[in-house]
Amino acid sequence: MDLQTSYFNRYSSVHFVPDVVGDLVFNGVASDVYRRSLTHGVQTDAAYRLSDAHTLHAGFTVSAENALVSNGSVLLPVDSTGAPVDAPFNVLDQSSKTGFLFGTYIADEWKVTNQLTVNYGLRFDQMMQYTNANQLSPRISMTYTPRDGTVFHAGYARYFTPPQLVLAAPTNLGLVQNTTQQPEVNFADPVRPERSHYFDVGVTQKLLPGLEVGVDGYYKMARDLLDDGQFGAAYVLTAFNYEKGDNYGVELSAKYTDTHFRAYANIAYARQIATNVVSNQFLFGADELAYIASHYVYTDHSQWVSGSAGASYKWDSGTRLSMDVLYGSGLRSGFANTASLPWYSQVNFGVSHEFKWFNDVKPTTLRFDIVNVFDTIYGIRDGSGIGVFAPQFGPRRGFFFGISQKL
pLDDT tens for the chain, 407 residues: list them. Answer: 999 999 999 999 999 999 999 988 888 899 999 999 999 999 999 999 999 999 999 999 999 999 999 999 999 999 888 888 888 999 999 999 999 999 999 999 999 999 999 999 999 999 999 999 999 999 999 999 999 999 999 999 999 999 999 999 999 999 999 998 899 999 999 999 999 999 999 999 999 999 999 999 999 999 999 999 888 777 788 999 999 999 999 999 999 999 899 999 999 999 999 999 999 999 999 999 999 999 999 998 889 999 999 999 999 888 999 999 999 999 999 999 999 999 999 999 999 999 887 777 788 999 999 999 999 999 999 989 998 888 999 999 999 999 998 88
* Domain limits, the chain: 2-299
Distance CA 194, CA 163 (A): 8
Distance CA 42, CA 136 (A): 21
Instruction: For residue range 167-204, list pLDDT tens digits in order.
Output: 999 999 999 999 988 999 999 999 999 999 999 999 99
Distance CA 276, CA 280 (A): 12
Distance CA 225, CA 266 (A): 27
Distance CA 125, CA 103 (A): 4
Distance CA 247, CA 272 (A): 4
Distance CA 26, CA 18 (A): 12
Length of the chain equals 407
Instruction: For residue range 14-62, list pLDDT tens digits in order.
Output: 999 999 999 888 888 999 999 999 999 999 999 999 999 999 999 999 9
Distance CA 199, CA 387 (A): 29
Q: What amino acid occupies position 42?
A: V
Question: Which CATH architecture best describes the domain 2-299?
Answer: Beta Barrel (2.40)
The pTM of the full predicted model, rounded to 2 decimals, is 0.89
Q: Closest Cα partner for 57 from 118, 136, 126?
A: 118
Instruction: For residue range 85-117, list pLDDT tens digits in order.
Output: 888 999 999 999 999 999 999 999 999 999 999
| Angle, CA of 251, 256 and 260, to the nearest 5° | 150
Q: Closest Cα partner for 195 from 150, 156, 243?
A: 243
